[in-house]
Amino acid sequence: MSTPKAPIEPMEGLCFRTRGLTKTYGKGAAEVQALRGVDLELPDGELVVVLGASGSGKSTFLNIIGGLDKATSGEVFFRGRDIGHASRQELTQYRRRNVGFVFQFYNLMPSLTAWENVALVTEIADNPLTPDAALEMVGLKERQSHFPAQMSGGEQQRVAIARAIAKQPSVLLCDEPTGALDSATGTRVLEALKTVNDTLNATTLIITHNAGVAAMADRVVIFADGAVREVKINTNPKNPKDITW
Amino acid sequence: MVGGGGLLSWLSVLDRKLWRDLWGMKTQALAIAFVIAGGVSVQLLSTGMLNSLQETRRAYYERYLLADIWAPVVRAPQALLSDIRGLDGVQAAETRIRAGALFDMPGMSEPASGEILSLPDIGLPSVNQLYLTRGRTPEVDRSDEVVVLESFATAHELQIGDTVAATIHGRRARLVIVGIGLSPEHVYTIAPGEIVPDDRLFGVMWMGRQALARAVDQDGAFNEAVVRLSHGASQAAVIAELDLLFEPFGAPGAYGRDEQISDVFVSSEIDQLRTMGNVLPPIFLLVAAFLVNIVISRLIAVQRAGIGLLKAFGYRDDEVGWHYMKLVAVIGLAGLLIGGGLGIWLGREMAIMYTQYYRFPFLVFNADPRTYAIVIAVTAAAILGGAAMAVRRAASLNPADAMTQPPPPDYSKAAGMGITRWHRIDQQTRMILRQIIRWPVRAALTVAGVAASGALLIGTMFFIDSMSVMMDGFFNVSNRYDVSVSFVQPRSRAAYHSIERMPGVLAAEPFRAASARLRHGNLEERAALIGSPPDPQLSRMVDAQYRTVSPPPGGLVLSQDLAIKLDVEAGDMLEIHIAEGRRPVLHVAVSAVTTTLIGSGAQMRIGDLNALLGEGDVVSGAYLIVDPDQVDTLYNALKSVPLVAGTGLQALAAQNLDDLMQQNLGTAIWIYTGFAGLIALGVIYNSVRISFAERQRELASLRVLGFTVADVSYILLGEVAFLTLLALPVGAAAGTGMAWYLAQAMSSELFRLPFVISLSTFGLAGALLIGITIGSSLLVRHQIQRLDMVAVLKTGE
C-alpha cells in the first residue's frame, strides 16, 4: 500500500488488525448482516485456520482483508495501513503487490499452461519468484507445460497455489482450498500451503469447513453469527500428513 | 426489474423465465433485432419500391395510352393516318405535330427551351393522353392557348391565365396557359443531349393542332405519328411497315419505348433497383442468420446450468428446445416489426423523392402481400435456421452433465497452438491468440460479419467515387464548353461566325450533327453522327484513360456501347443511313472504338461528314466558352436569334447532376451506410458482450490477481480488436469485388459507372468499423468495471 495520507498505526509484528468490522448486504427486508463487529489481530507469518458454519461471516471477512470487498463500517489495517478506506485502484495495487488468493474452484486460465498461468502473475509482480521455482515449490515442475484441461483437480489447485505465491505475497488467502478435492489430494494441497508458509513466511489464512485442518494451524479463529467466537493458539501445529479428516 | 409484473403473472413459469432472460440481454437482443431489421427493411424497400414503380408505370401507361412506337417524319400528309391505322398490329394511331421552341421566362436570363406538341382539335387523343391536373385543353378557335407540363409550371410558378413568350419556328408568340398537366411520355423530362433534367430550362407544352400547324407550316400535314400496338403484335414488324410507309416523306426511322428517352430513364431506374435488391438484402439476412447462430449457441452455453435444472425438473427435450426457439422467435419478430416499420417509412420517403424526378400522377409506396410474405419467410428461415443447431444441442444436454461444472475447455489439442508458445509474447496476448485459435469458426464468423459490413460500406460509398469520376470526365475532360447552341437547321459558316462574334464568347467550336441509323449486318442502331474539327478542344471523345480520341481523316470513332451493340471493331465497315436532308447512305470505316462514360457517340471530322452529306460547309451548332461576367448579355442575345433551336448550359447541368447525386444517391447511400453500420454494431457488440458473459470468471480471477480494469479490458477487447483489424482487409477486398460487380450491373445505356474506389472510401469504411468497435468496447468496459469479483469466484460455473 502506498497511500501517504493514510494514518499509520503502530502495529509491530501484526499483519492485520480489525476493529468493529461490520458488513451488511441488501436493504430493508432483504438486509443480511454478514459481519457484526469483528475485532481481530493476526500476527505476521502465522498459518491461521478460520473455521465456522456456512453464513458465519468467515468468507466475507476474508474478502474484506483481501481487498475484494469493502466493509460497511469499522476499520481494517494491513501492517499499519488503512485499507478500509482505500479506493478501487488502491485496492487493485494492494492485491497485486501483497495478496495471493487460492479459491475452491481454482480459477485458472484455461487457455494458459501451468507455467503460463504462473507467469501471468510474475509478469506484473515487483519481486517475483520464477514460474519454475513456484511450480517446484508445489511439486508440479514436470507438469508445467500442461493445460488445465489436462490436469486433475488437485494439480490444478496446486497450480493455483503456485500462481498465488509466485509474487512472494505478504498474505496468502485460501477460501476452501480443499473443498472440491478428495482427502488424499487435499492433503497434498495442504502440504503445499504449509511449505509456502514456512519458506516465504507469508501470513496464511485458510478458510475451511473441516475442523481437522485446524491441527496444522498456529492459530485457529472460529466465526459464528458474523463475529469471532473464539481464537485458539496452537503451540504445537501438526504436519498436514498427520492430520486425519 | 422487468416492467409489466402484472402481465407476467399471465405467463407460464417458463415463459416468465423467457421474458426475464430477454430483459436481461435486452441490449444484445436489440442489436440482433436491428441487424434483422436492416435486412428486412432493405428487402422491403427495394422490392416494394421496385414493385411500386413498375406497377405505377404499368397503370399510368395503360390508363393514359402511352404509345408503343414513335415515328417521326419531316412532313407527311394527314391522309396517311388511315394507312397507319390500317397496318397489321396497330391498335390505335394518331398523327401530331412536334416542334422545338424557346421560352423567354421572366426573371431568368438563361434561355429555356422545350417542345410543343399538338393535341387533336376535337376529343381526346387515342394515344398519349394528357393527365390534366388543373384547367382545360385549348379551345379550337384560340391559337394562343396551351397546356404546360406541370414540372415546368412549378419551376416557374406559372398559373392558369399566365402568359409565356415563346419563339416557335423563328416566330415570336405569346401563349396563354389554360391548363397544367402530366403526360406518360414525360415521366422523366430531359432536354435532348442533356444528362440531368432541369425543370426550369426545359419545358413541354401542348397546343391545338390547327394553331401549331399554322405556326410551323404543317397545315394538312404531320411530323410525327404515335402508335399503340394490339396485343401480341410485333413491334419490329410495325416499325418496318411504318418506315416503308414514311420513306417518301423523309423519316429518320420509327422507334419503340426502348428508345423513348423518358421510358429509358424510368427503365434504367427500375433495373438499378432490381440489381440493388438482388445484392444487398441477401447479405443482410445472411449476416443476421450468422449472428443469431453465434449468439444463441453461446447464450445457451452460458445457460447450461439452467437447462440442466429444467431437465432435472422433468421438462422434456422438446419443451426446452421450444423454449429457446421462442426466445429466438421473439427477437426475430422484433426485428421484423422494426424492419417493417422502417422499410415502409423509408419507402414512403423514397417515393416522395422519386416523384421529384419521375412525374407520375401518383406514386405510392406499396409493397404487395407477396413481398411481405417473402420478407417474413426469408427472415424466419434465416433466424430459425441460424438457431436450429444451437437449440438442438441445448435440448439434448444431459441434465447431470449440464449442472456440474464443465471441465475447462481443452486448449492442448487445437491445431496451430504451436505459434502461441512463442515466449516473447506476454500471457495476456497469448490468451487472446489462443482464444481465437481454439474457436476458429467463431472467430471466422465474427471476421465474416464485420467484413460483410465493411464490404457493404465500400460497395455503397463506391457510387460517390464512381459518379464523381464520371462527372469529372464528362464536364472537365470531355465537354469543356460552357454553352452549346444548336440551330433549327444546319446553317452556313456565316451563321456560326455570327454566334462566335456574340458578346461574351471567348472561344467557339462548330459541330455538325446528323441523325442516322448505323447498320452492321443485321444489326441496326439509331445515333447522332457528329462532325467535329480535326483537333477538337471543347467537346471531344476520350478513352478510359481520358486521352482524346480524334477521328483520322475519313474515319469514324465509335463509342464502345454502340460498337458492342453493332458487333463492330476498329477496321470494320459501317453502313450509315443518314436520316435527314438528301438521306444518303454512307459506308465508313470504324477507325477506333472508345469508352465513353455518359451517353454514346459516333464522331467524324466535320469536313469529312459534310463532304459525305454533300450539303456544303454547314454546321448544326456551336460549343462556346463564355466570359462569366457577360453570360447574361449572351443569353439575352441568344434568345433573340431566330436560328437558335436550343441551348445547353454546362454549369447548370453539372449543378443539376450534383444535386441529383446528393439527393437521390446521397439518401440511398446514407440509408445503406447506416444499415451496414448496424450490422457491424450487431456483430461486434454481440461478440464482445457474449465473450464477456463466457469469460466473466476468468476476468474476475484476473481482477483478483491484481490486474487493473485496463489489463482485463485488453484481454477481452483485444480479441475483437484483433478480429476487426483482420476483417478490414477482408472487407476491403470483398467491397472491391462488390463495387466491381455493381459497376458492371448498374451501368446502362445512359451511363457506364467507372470502377474507381478512392482511398478515402476505404479510410472512411475502416474508420467507421474501428469506431463501432471502440463504441462497443466502451459499453462492455463499463461492465468490466462493475464486475463482482466475489460473486463470480465463490460459485462454480
CA B261 vs CA B186, B187, B268, B358, B661: distances in Å: 9, 10, 11, 12, 20
- Whether residue B291 sits in one domain with residue B231: no
- Is B428 a member of any domain? no
* The pLDDT of residue B88 is above 90: yes
- Residue among B412, B704, B711 minimizing CB distance to A149: B412
Closest to B444 measured CA to CA, from B411, B419, B416, B422 = B416
At B792, is the pLDDT very low, low, confident or very high (cuts 50, 70, 90)? low
Report the chain B residue with the minimal C-alpha distance to residue A169.
B705
Between A1 and B747, the higher pLDDT residue? B747
- Whether residue B675 sits in one domain with residue B593: no
In percent, the amount of chain B with pLDDT more than 70 equals 94
Chain B residues close to A150, C-beta within 8 Å: 410, 412
CB contact under 8 A, B708 and A97: no
The mean pLDDT of A178-188, rounded to a whole number, is: 81
Compute how many other C-beta atoms are within 10 angstroms of the C-beta atom of residue B484: 22
Indicate the burial class of B409 (C-beta count within 10 angstroms; 0-12, 13-18, 19 or more). Answer: middle
- Residue among A63, A89, A150 minimizing CB distance to B790: A63
**How many folded domains does chain A comprise?**
1
- Whether residue B147 sits in one domain with residue B129: yes
Quick check: B410 contacting A, CB < 8 Å? Answer: yes
Instruction: Give the per-residue pLDDT at B404.
Output: 66
Between B216 and B387, the higher pLDDT residue? B216
Task: Give the integer Cα–Cα distance in Å for B279 and B741.
Answer: 10
CB contact under 8 A, B408 and A112: no
Smallest Cα distance from A161 to chain B, Å? 12
The C-alpha R_g of chain B, in whole angstroms, comes to 34
The mean pLDDT of B13-37, rounded to a whole number, is: 82
Chain B residues close to A92, C-beta within 8 Å: 703, 706-709
- Whether residue B91 sits in one domain with residue B38: no
Residue type, B778: L
pLDDT tens for each residue of B206-243? 999 999 999 988 999 999 999 999 999 999 999 999 99
Smallest Cα distance from B414 to chain A, Å? 11
* The pLDDT of residue A238 is above 80: yes
- Residue among A89, A96, A123 minimizing CB distance to B427: A123
Closest to B260 measured CA to CA, from B222, B224, B233, B234 = B224
At residue B514, φ and ψ (nearest 5 deg) are -135, 130
Beta-strand ranges (E) seen in B393-504 are 483-492
Please report the ipTM that was assigned to this predicted complex. Answer: 0.81
- Is A92 a member of any domain? no
CATH number of A189's domain: 3.40.50.300
pLDDT tens for each residue of B444-488? 888 988 898 899 889 888 888 988 888 888 888 888 899 988 887
CB contact under 8 A, B431 and A109: yes
Closest to B127 measured CA to CA, from B86, B96, B87 = B96
CB pairs under 8 A between A and B: 93
- Whether residue B375 sits in one domain with residue B304: yes
Are A232 and A219 in contact by the 8 Å Cβ rule? The answer is yes
Instruction: Give the per-residue pLDDT at B794.
Output: 62
| Chain B, window 616-655: residues with a beta carbon less than 8 angstroms from a chain A beta carbon | none
At B276, is the pLDDT very low, low, confident or very high (cuts 50, 70, 90)? confident
Instruction: Give the per-residue pLDDT at B247.
Output: 87
CB contact under 8 A, B708 and A92: yes
Range of the domain at A156: 44-67+98-242
CA A25 vs CA A30, A52, A63, A68, A74: distances in Å: 8, 19, 14, 15, 15
- Is A76 a member of any domain? no
Are B496 and B624 in contact by the 8 Å Cβ rule? The answer is no
User: Hey, is B459 helix, strand or coil?
Assistant: helix
Least confident of A240-244, B53-57, B594-598: B594-598
DSSP 8-state class, residue B547: -
For residue B743, give the C-alpha cell. 459497376
Place of cell 505459434: B419
User: Mean pLDDT over all residues of chain B?
Assistant: 85
Place of cell 410507309: B245
- Is B410 a member of any domain? no
CB contact under 8 A, A163 and B407: no
**How many folded domains does chain B comprise?**
5
Note the Cα B50 to chain centre separation in Å.
11
Task: Give the integer Cα–Cα distance in Å for B795 and B700.
Answer: 12
- Is A48 a member of any domain? yes
Range of the domain at B596: 479-656
Instruction: Give the per-residue pLDDT at A9.
Output: 57
Pairing of the two strands B618-626 and B505-520: antiparallel
* The pLDDT of residue B406 is above 80: no
The mean pLDDT of A129-150, rounded to a whole number, is: 89
- Is B416 a member of any domain? no
- Is B423 a member of any domain? no
Q: Per-residue DSSP letters for B598-654?
A: BS--EEEEHHHHHHHHTS-SEEEEEEEEE-GGGHHHHHHHHHT-TTEEEEEEHHHHH
User: Hey, is B317 helix, strand or coil?
Assistant: helix
Chain B residues close to A97, C-beta within 8 Å: 706
- Is A72 a member of any domain? no
- Is B791 a member of any domain? yes
| Chain B, window 701-740: residues with a beta carbon less than 8 angstroms from a chain A beta carbon | 701-709, 711
Domain boundary among B639, B656, B673: B656
Least confident of A118-127, A160-169, B685-694: B685-694
- Is A82 a member of any domain? no
- Residue among B407, B697, B704 minimizing CB distance to A68: B704
pLDDT tens for each residue of B534-591? 888 888 888 777 788 888 888 899 988 888 889 999 889 999 988 777 788 889 889 9
- Is A230 a member of any domain? yes
- Whether residue B768 sits in one domain with residue B701: yes
- Is B422 a member of any domain? no
For residue B227, give the C-alpha cell. 402508335
Task: Give the integer Cα–Cα distance in Å for B452 and B683.
Answer: 10
Closest to B150 measured CA to CA, from B358, B364, B363 = B358
The DSSP element (H or E) to which B224 belongs, if any, is strand B221-229
Between A182 and A99, the higher pLDDT residue? A99
- Whether residue B484 sits in one domain with residue B472: no
At how many degrees (to 10) do helices B369-395 and B26-63 cross? 160
- Whether residue B618 sits in one domain with residue B505: yes
pLDDT tens for each residue of B141-176? 888 999 999 999 999 999 999 999 998 887 889 999
Least confident of A179-183, A192-196, B394-398, B772-776: B394-398
At how many degrees (to 10) do helices B317-357 and B261-302 cross? 160
The mean pLDDT of A74-78, rounded to a whole number, is: 93
Instruction: Give the per-residue pLDDT at A229.
Output: 92
- Whether residue B697 sits in one domain with residue B755: yes
- Is B17 a member of any domain? yes
- Is A170 a member of any domain? yes
- Is B419 a member of any domain? no
- Is A141 a member of any domain? yes
Between B509 and A244, the higher pLDDT residue? B509
* The pLDDT of residue B666 is above 80: no
Instruction: Give the per-residue pLDDT at A17.
Output: 93
CB contact under 8 A, A92 and B701: no
For residue A120, give the C-alpha cell. 501471468
- Whether residue B75 sits in one domain with residue B59: no
Task: Give the integer Cα–Cα distance in Å for B288 and B578.
Answer: 58
- Whether residue B339 sits in one domain with residue B317: yes
Domain boundary among B206, B235, B259: B259
Least confident of B69-78, B242-251, B309-318, B613-622: B309-318
- Whether residue B725 sits in one domain with residue B618: no
Q: Nearest 5°: CA angle at B554, between B548 and B558?
A: 50
Instruction: Give the per-residue pLDDT at B4.
Output: 46
Quick check: B694 contacting A, CB < 8 Å? Answer: no
Smallest Cα distance from A236 to chain B, Å? 32
